[in-house]
Amino acid sequence: MEKFLEKLKQKAFFLASRYELPSFYSKFYHYHARVRHIFFSDPLISIIRERVEVELEKADCLGHGVSHSRKVSWDCATLISIELSGISDKRNYKRFIILGIISGLFHDICRVEENHAELGARKAAEILRNYPLSPDEIGMVCKAIRNHEAFVKPLPCSDPISQIISDCLYDADKFRWGIDIFTSTLWHMASYKKLTERDLLERFPWGLDGIRKIQNTFRTQTGKLFGPEIIEQGLMLGKEIYRFLLESCGAGDEHNHYGNKRN
Ligand SMILES: [Fe+2]
Ligand SMILES: [Fe+2]
């Protein structure tokens, strides 16, 4: 990674360390802990991780590798646990959590390619055929992957559980548009796309605007309640980094307080 990106990344870590843990993670820590226990101990997840995490290394260049997919898996399955907490029939409860974890693990498997959600869904279907999952379960995972892209209208799911998995995957992926985007993803993407300091500076307001817009797209009840706080933190951190970037480029005078270019 280029020196200026390393410097910005370090600054982002320093600034991010001052932010509180979002309420989603403190309020639902028990659900999150259970999901992580399943993630590291369930035999099916273990064998699937052995297969998929090697592939995910390829997407690491864009900041969408193992770490991103694990976090999405955990948050997706946590959201599923919460969304299903009111149901009386708990027989398949753990199975739905496992499907949420698998959806998170696979969702960015084709991230470096165009139309990665559709291609990822097809690749996941191909791989998952070799594991003990029913065609219906594979269908639910693939539908969720197909529906996870931002600012794209999702396809409706044929049954309520499939809809919950799809919506939870989307929200879990968009939770990454909070602090995570500035402690990890952005610097990998900027390095991969060979952006200069000036390129980054020019694109920053557009990026912040995208983050702002994602706030209104959460799909689950829990996502709608707790997602905006996560995104708000991302926006605040983004603005702090942008100011730092403006100062280090000596461009502070060309831009106003909010980072917009003066006319
Ligand atoms: Fe994606
Ligand atoms: Fe993702």
Cα gap 2→256, rounded to integer Å = 27
* Burial of residue 145, with CB atoms counted within 10 A of its CB: 0-12 exposed, 13-18 middle, 19 or more buried: buried
Show pLDDT as tens, one digit a residue, over the chain (263 residues).
788 889 999 999 999 999 999 999 999 999 999 999 999 999 999 999 999 998 888 767 777 789 999 999 999 999 999 999 887 677 789 999 999 999 999 999 998 899 999 999 999 999 999 999 999 999 999 999 999 999 999 999 989 999 999 999 999 999 999 999 999 889 988 988 898 888 999 999 999 999 999 999 999 999 999 999 999 999 999 999 999 989 887 766 555 544 555 44
Distance 263 CA to ligand 2 centre (A): 36
What pLDDT, on the 0 to 100 scale, is given for residue 263?
A: 42
Distance 249 CA to ligand 2 centre (A): 31
Cα gap 10→60, rounded to integer Å = 18
Confirm or reject CATH 3.40.50.300 for domain 22-174, answering yes or no: no
What pLDDT, on the 0 to 100 scale, is given for residue 257?
A: 45
Cα gap 99→128, rounded to integer Å = 11
Domain boundaries, the chain: 22-174, 177-254
Distance 104 CA to ligand 2 centre (A): 8
Distance 108 CA to ligand 2 centre (A): 5
* Closest listed ligand to the CA of 172: 2
Distance 208 CA to ligand 2 centre (A): 18
Contact 233, 19 (CB under 8 A): yes
Distance 68 CA to ligand 2 centre (A): 7
Distance 195 CA to ligand 1 centre (A): 21
